[in-house]
Structure 1
């Protein structure tokens, strides 16, 4: 047990030093020791290992005052790459992500909701191989794959426990994708990795308590507290889309009636619209609203009201310092952000809390899940190595 604890501490110390060098370059060994409380010997050992493995670049000695000099450290961005994948009902996004969270190259492919899980995994395996070849990327530089998808995911085992949108239950995603690609695979809920990406590289840099809410094919949320994802016991914290609004309401795909997402998500809005006339895309619905058709105005305004109520509930429950509005609906129709912000600031957020948080747009937009998944794979690699 003692040996296990020592190994765990060594991995955590290594990851801590790595993250500091990544996020605060250029930085000296002394500064790292001061921030972490680790001894100079421990810092030198970890930096030596990372340098030997080709991750760290040491700059020339620079003046540090009164003739003293120190060597500054930074990371070689291209020394480590990972594959980030977003799986959604209608699309598969795949990209190569570097140490700074930048997508070196990426592609978006269509996905059929009724496609078998094994078929989807085989397609992803081929997409990954083709992308590396087309990008001229050496697979030896890729430390792993990260996958973000909607639903409840066991992030430790890589098993998708339940995903309404994908139609999957208890599927061993990490295991199969590793067999197909040869890479280590980390899997997590899409909004959890997106919130992490926004916290590290997007609109919520510097936030201590970030709440991200996603509105698209489903509805969900995620909370980052002091840089860590809040997961709950089953990694299901944030599944606000399946909170009950009306027990006598519309049936949700999950099998319950009156879930929040049945009033807001894209498929439910199109289903409601089809009771008036045939509407094939969400763009058509918003065009009808723009044209002033009363039924379309009613549907969209009702959705905006429920979005604002969701923000209020999140703010009241978690008291975040930052709330990020994201998801396909917000990406496609940027005006939604301003309309929801107005509703929240005037009526629908509890008055004592209206000025307690920053209301933000997603800065990473449609690449947020891809980038967050890639960063997840990198973190897993440096923790386990």
Structure 2
């Protein structure tokens, strides 16, 4: 639910943001419907809508052709006035998605990459993925307001990647600075598992949940945490790095699926786990044994997170989430033996899209804070990207 507005004289910006969030992604609404959604009085709602219309964020929708009488005025958010790009930098692929301010994906591209690729090669893949995405959407770099990036590795609040087990070139790397030179707009950097967790609470199976553990399972393992409805980074932005605990054996867990006897010789490593999981679904004994070994390791770190945080829901996401029907039953059996209270266990419905969608939602949150600041008046949408500047958090921002 959008935040509920209060007295306009005291909470003017909260009310403006409340109206914007109520209109975003919705059908055109009348003033009465908006007042009901935001908790504002109808006169206050009209005052906020008039202001947002003058600034260029909201517009009145003409009556449908053939409408009789004098219909109530309806309003919508002008999502098309700005655009952003979400980027997912993985060890093996770089994915980019162009979106409007409603978060609707307008175009998407993917570029292959190698885990051991040199820095310049990976940066080139990132730029090409974004440029191709813009080309598909009929836009240029000048149309971008923000680029939000999710990457594997330990990411500081300043956008520096301290280390990454999946990408060898990602070590004490000022990724925010490098991409800030590449793109003529604000650049945000965040850990990919955290962005995936954010996407699940906004668009996926954890929508509306306040406490969430996201398991990023695939050719590498990771977690993202949502606590009290907020993305949780921890004091040093290292929260959720359960993979670093040797006792979990998460760094080697995917090999259990790759090395199963059922996988034919010569199968590409990127297809081995999928082959094993499909065979397990069909009841193959060797594949089931491999899945059992994998889940035994997965359960150790998951149980630790559940016992520590007591989440409402645990979401299985990432590349292996397509086989949630195979993985969740044995995971549930193990967790039930040690957890004081069992959370809901669900497989992601976002699949490989989870990180890039989370990056889009992360960028929208950033733009809301930028254009609807709590300590000032709402700003008019820019006609072109504003110059970059460094925020106190260290991100490149407009």
Task: Give the TM-score normalised by the residue count of structure 2.
Answer: 0.74
Change (3 A) 1:352 1:120: closer
Which residue is equivalent to 2:39? 34
- CA positional deviation for 1:60: 6.8
- Residue 298 in structure 1 maps to residue 286 in structure 2: no
- 1:232 deviation in Å? 0.5
**Structure 2, gaps ≥5 residues long:** 1-10, 64-70, 372-398
- What stretches of structure 1 of length at least 5 have no aligned partner? 1-8, 62-68, 246-258
Q: Does 1:230 align with 2:218?
A: no
Contact 1:326 1:361 in 2 (8 A): yes
Matches within 5 A, 1:264-343: 264-265=253-254, 269-270=257-258, 280-281=268-269, 283-284=271-272, 287=275, 290=279, 297-331=288-322, 334=323, 337-343=324-330
Structure 1 residue 296: Cα displacement: 5.1
Deviation readout 1:327-351 (Å, 9 max, x if unpaired) = 11223xx2xx223332244443247
1:19 is paired with a residue whose SS is helix
The worse-fitting range, judged by mean Cα deviation, of 161-170 and 282-291 is 282-291
Query: By how many angstroms is 1:151 displaced?
Result: 1.3
Change (3 A) 1:287 1:211: closer
> Which is richer in helix?
1
The C-alpha deviation readout for 1:268-296, integer Å capped at 9, x for no partner, is: 7547879x977642534564673988765
Q: Separation in 1 of the partners of 2:251 and 2:132? A: 38
- Cα shift at 1:106: 0.7
TM-score, length-scaled by structure 1 = 0.76
Question: Is residue 260 from structure 1 mapped to residue 249 from structure 2 by the alignment?
Answer: yes
Distance 1:74 1:309, change over 3 A: farther
1:95, CA displacement in angstroms?
A: 1.2
Given the superposition, is the C-alpha separation of residues 51 and 353 from structure 1 closer, same or farther in structure 2, using an over 3 Å criterion? farther
Q: CA RMSD in A?
A: 3.5
Give distance in 2, aligned partners of 1:149 and 1:85.
8
Answering whether residue 131 of structure 2 is matched by residue 145 of structure 1, we say: no
Q: CA deviation at 1:304?
A: 1.9
* Alignment: residue pair count: 345
CA distance in 2 between counterparts of 1:49 and 1:140 reads 27
C-alpha spacing 1:219/1:60, structure 2 compared with 1 (3 Å): same
Contact 2:213 2:314 survives alignment (8 Å) = yes
Contact 1:195 1:223 in 2 (8 A): yes
Q: Hey, what's the Cα distance between the residues in 1 that align with 2:204 and 2:184? A: 31
Secondary structure of the corresponding residue to residue 167 of structure 2 = coil
- How far apart in 1 are the matches of 2:52 and 2:276? 57
